A and B are shown apart, each in its own frame.
Chain A
Amino acid sequence: MQLIYEKSVPGRRGVRLPASDVPAAPELPAALRRQEPAPLPEASELDVVRHFTSLSRRNFSVDTNFYPLGSCTMKYNAKALEEAAKLFAPYHPMVPLLPHGASFSQGCLGLAYELGATLAEITGMDEVTTQPMAGAHGEMTGIMLIAAYHEAKGNRKKYVVVPDSSHGTNPASAAMVGYEIITVPTAPYGDMDLDKFREVMTDEVAAVMMTCPNTLGLFNPHIQEICDIAHDHDALMYYDGANLNAILGKVRPGDVGFDVIHVNLHKTFGTPHGGGGPGSGPVGVKKQLVPFLPAPRIVKYDDGCYGVDAPAHGSIGRTSGFFGNFGVMAKAFAYITMLGRDGLIQVSEQAVLNANYVMSRLKDVYDLPYDQTCMHECVFSAARQVKNGVHAIDIAKFLIDKGYHPPTVYFPLIVKEAIMIEPTETESKETLDAFIAVMREAAELAESDPAVFAEFPKTMPVTRLDETKAAREQNVCYFGC
């Protein structure tokens, strides 16, 4: 399909702006004035509509396809959430920061505050900041809070401990805050090796970052013990909330001993993923970390009004321009408001039911390296199919031709040829049965006609793409007219 720049016709116009109602001002000095206008697409409004509508049809999405992308919680995004967020589109974030401005923004400040308070109850933490704009941003914020805590106490800390099954963002976030990383291997039973963990724990460890349930979809039965060991060294426990969808109302990380948590509103709380973002990654903390929370801090006064507090003395400072991805926060608060207590508990129960159902119906045809009751997702290996030359990526491409977005493949890194399936609670048994049938068909085909996989996908606008060429040539910008 042509680029919109290639469809451009010099002189063609799209949307028109209002005519000016003021006199034309003298020109900017020549040294400051743009010499060549930025060459943008020149298209009619209909050209633009056709172009982007055509592009949209070259995508799989939750609304068009089952999308069991493990670790990403691709649940249905209720349409009412979009309507809820639009209600807050016209409000400027500077207004409450102006002197006495908070009284002009009570609706927005109230929403952000009440969302934070609700997330604190859901996760068992004492206070939540909604500033972080994605999960990884929340991780970085959380680790900064931990660094500030240790600095205030005069602790000398150098390391952050992560299990080898962790999301790549965990070590990357800790490294951005200046920590060295210690990686602990996974034991044969599917959780961080407890003996190895004990060995690496010293007083120089600042934090332990855990995903629970972990990226194998397993709930760590030793989690309390891990928290205790960490706390013995005054290391704080960080909870990666990517998998919170499994435990709503069942477990609260704060009750178990975690000190800091981020939640992904775009995963657990039903906001759309936007083709890569925007997300939102609020961070919850226990009391001892509250003084370090980022600015601005939204507060509720005794009279029920909301305000913006001056940052506390120890605050880590500002991590986003204003109040985080407010539009995403509004959607998540709408989701929580609609589902309520029982609805959220049902989310986790049905998510876990769906994942276990898929796992039980596929484990005779795919290797299941950690064969236990899973939580909201399950991780198979294509090792058996690889013997016939069919890899996880080949099965993924077969699924595309069958109309399914593939599961996450090759993650977690500790499972060879990993196929990570997260069905989510919003999929019906019929959808799961159809998906299971296609996965079984893939396994059979891998036995009967493995060579055929190289051709998949055949039904998409493009066949398999040459990623080496892309990396070598680095054409990331169109240089034509």
Chain B
Amino acid sequence: MSTASYCPNTPEEVREMLAAMGASSIEDLFRPISPALRARSFDLPEGMSEFEMLHRFEHLAGKNAQHLSHFVGGGYYDHLIPAVVDHLSGRAEFYTAYTPYQPECSQGTLQALFEYQTAICRLTGMEVSNASLYDGGTALAEAAMMALRITGRNRLVIDGAVNPFHREIVRTYLANLDVELVEIGPKLGMEDDLRLRATIDDATAAVLVQNPNFFGSVSDFRRLAADAHAAGALLVVSAYPVALGLVESPGAMGADIVVGDGQSLGNPLSFGGPSFGFIASRKEYIRNLPGRIIGETVDKKGERGFVLTLQAREQHIKRHKATSNICSNQGLCALRGLIFLSSLGTQGFAELARLNYDKAEYAKKVLGAIGGVEVMNGGATFNEFTVCLPKIAEEVVVALLRKGIAAGVPLGLHYPEMERCMVVTVTEKRTREEIDTFARHLEGILCS
């Protein structure tokens, strides 16, 4: 009796239903499945009530380290989430609906996603956006494939300072296709982008970069964009959305396709998901965008309404000729992003970016003042920066973890030649006190 069940029919109703269809038992209905095909095992525990389940889950969650002070980023960031985000996205009319195939009874989802697309265009300086992809890394891979389709070329150049996980995803996506992927060795900043620019040739479909890059450096990509365009290639920029409150938009710097991960816009860390990927581009490329797109139109009475549009690009119509296989996207996370941006507004979002920047600059100064610690970024950064330590960074990070501080991403994980460096992230959530404590412990560890 203690097992949860969401099947409402009573035994009496089941009997009535079986009688109505002339079946003698439920097992009768499974007769098309021959005994030889039946399950050989189904060894699962007994069920339990929701109360017992939640008790068990609380215990499980408690096995994670509690209250870490997060200076670790690596593509996922510990940001504030206004209460309205949970409450509004938690309205069941949003979260228990599905893809808005029937527009008349789905205007809520459709209009919200149209507003989301608008917000993404405005943040990135692009003209068109889809209604979300899975995450930032897969969005970059989709952008790469989109560039291949648009240009009809089969060579891609990717900067080594793009998030290593995202580069891995791009490699995985392209592994079975006839595509040459050229990876340029990492540079901390774009002060010297000559190598990247020199790699572009007439066969290149696109150059893929990230701003701010994995090391935290913020760069001006205008020259790179010009060179790419001169060669008939596209510039794909992966952007960190919170930075777009302070840093010039990729569109203004000449990007053709902009992607990124929307986690920092109102989605919790949640051990890496769900968040959402965004993808936006210049309007001329709209037919090559992957995934769902919401368009504005009118109804029979001339009233404004919204529909899924350009569906002829998609798998349920085009099958193997679709622009992508994506069906389910991350709609609810995109809605959270829109509510997040709406609740902060133009000024609040700019202030959010400024807070991140100011706190990171403070941390840069405090950490950089420790003997033997060197800030590696020559130029500007946003809320992440790279420090080089007099010890192996992995060892320092472990020691700090034991003190409740997730200090950063040790670069030796991804770049063996940088084993003494780590990337430190400082979001608006970190207080001056936390930064000072971090610095004190770091100094103590380096001196010991």
**A and B, one complex?**
yes
Interface pick from B229-237, B340-348, B369-377: B340-348
Output the nearest chain B residue to A19 by Cβ-Cβ distance.
Answer: B355
**Chain B residues with CB under 8 A of A373:** 29, 31-32
Q: A1-B111, A37-B350 are in contact. Are A255 and B40 (CB under 8 A)?
A: yes
CB <8 Å contact, A325 and B57:
no
Query: Is B155 in the interface zone, CB < 8 Å from A?
Result: no
Interface pick from A196-204, A230-238, A283-291, A315-323: A315-323
**Chain A residues with CB under 8 A of B41:** 121, 124, 252
**Chain B residues with CB under 8 A of A89:** 268-270
CB <8 Å contact, A74 and B328:
no
Cα distance A323–B76 when bound, in Å?
Answer: 12
**Chain B residues with CB under 8 A of A339:** 3-5, 47
**Chain B residues with CB under 8 A of A426:** 6-8
CB <8 Å contact, B245 and A37:
yes
**Chain B residues with CB under 8 A of A389:** none
B238-280 vs A, Cβ < 8 Å mask (1 yes, 0 no):
0000001111110010000000010000001111111110000
**Chain A residues with CB under 8 A of B22:** 360
Output the nearest chain B residue to A65 by Cβ-Cβ distance.
Answer: B105
CB <8 Å contact, A45 and B84:
yes
Q: Pick the residue among A87, A106, A326 that contacts B58 (CB under 8 A).
A: A87
Min CB–CB distance A425 → chain B (angstroms): 5
Most chain A C-beta atoms within 10 Å of own C-beta, residue among B53, B274, B325: B325
Across chains A and B, which 10 residue pairs bring their CB atoms closest together, nearest first? A340-B47, A322-B272, A93-B272, A276-B331, A274-B332, A25-B361, A278-B274, A80-B50, A59-B108, A172-B325
CB <8 Å contact, A250 and B274:
no
Output the nearest chain A residue to B407 by Cβ-Cβ distance.
Answer: A98
CB <8 Å contact, B109 and A59:
yes
**Chain A residues with CB under 8 A of B194:** none
CB <8 Å contact, A21 and B94:
no
**Chain A residues with CB under 8 A of B332:** 272, 274-278
Cα distance A4–B410 when bound, in Å?
Answer: 42
A3-35 vs B, Cβ < 8 Å mask (1 yes, 0 no):
111000001111111101111111011011111
Cα distance A67–B58 when bound, in Å?
Answer: 32
CB <8 Å contact, B315 and A172:
yes
8 Å CB contacts to B: which residues of A380-428? Answer: 396-397, 400, 405-406, 408, 411, 425-428
Q: A41-B341, A349-B26 are in contact. Are A15 and B348 (CB under 8 A)?
A: yes
CB <8 Å contact, A347 and B343:
no
B304-340 vs A, Cβ < 8 Å mask (1 yes, 0 no):
0111011010111111111011111111110100010
Cα distance A42–B118 when bound, in Å?
Answer: 14
Min CB–CB distance A215 → chain B (angstroms): 12
Most chain A C-beta atoms within 10 Å of own C-beta, residue among B73, B109, B350: B109
Cα distance A324–B272 when bound, in Å?
Answer: 7
Query: Is A350 in the interface zone, CB < 8 Å from B?
Result: yes
Query: Is A152 in the interface zone, CB < 8 Å from B?
Result: no
CB <8 Å contact, B8 and A274:
no
CB <8 Å contact, B38 and A104:
no
Cα distance A429–B314 when bound, in Å?
Answer: 36
Query: Is B448 in the interface zone, CB < 8 Å from A?
Result: no
For this complex, 30 residue pairs linking A to B, each with C-beta atoms less than 8 Å apart, are A20-B354, A23-B358, A26-B361, A37-B346, A45-B82, A59-B93, A80-B50, A87-B58, A92-B72, A118-B44, A219-B32, A224-B37, A274-B97, A275-B106, A276-B98, A278-B273, A318-B168, A321-B75, A323-B272, A338-B49, A338-B50, A343-B4, A356-B29, A400-B102, A429-B13, A470-B309, A473-B297, A476-B295, A477-B118, A478-B118
Output the nearest chain A residue to B352 by Cβ-Cβ distance.
Answer: A17
Query: Is B445 in the interface zone, CB < 8 Å from A?
Result: no
Q: Pick the residue among B84, B305, B357 that contacts A15 (CB under 8 A).
A: B84
Min CB–CB distance B51 → chain A (angstroms): 8
CB <8 Å contact, A134 and B328:
yes
**Chain B residues with CB under 8 A of A252:** 39-42
Cα distance A64–B93 when bound, in Å?
Answer: 7
CB <8 Å contact, A463 and B303:
yes
8 Å CB contacts to B: which residues of A251-298? Answer: 251-252, 255-256, 266, 270, 272-280, 294-295
Cα distance A255–B36 when bound, in Å?
Answer: 10
Min CB–CB distance A344 → chain B (angstroms): 7
Output the nearest chain A residue to B294 by Cβ-Cβ distance.
Answer: A476
Query: Is B224 in the interface zone, CB < 8 Å from A?
Result: no
A166-180 vs B, Cβ < 8 Å mask (1 yes, 0 no):
011101111111100
CB <8 Å contact, B42 and A249:
yes
| Known pairs A101-B401, A176-B324, A276-B131 / 11 extra A-B pairs, C-beta < 8 Å | A61-B93, A87-B60, A94-B72, A110-B60, A133-B134, A169-B325, A252-B42, A318-B172, A320-B134, A321-B135, A400-B104
CB <8 Å contact, A40 and B272:
no
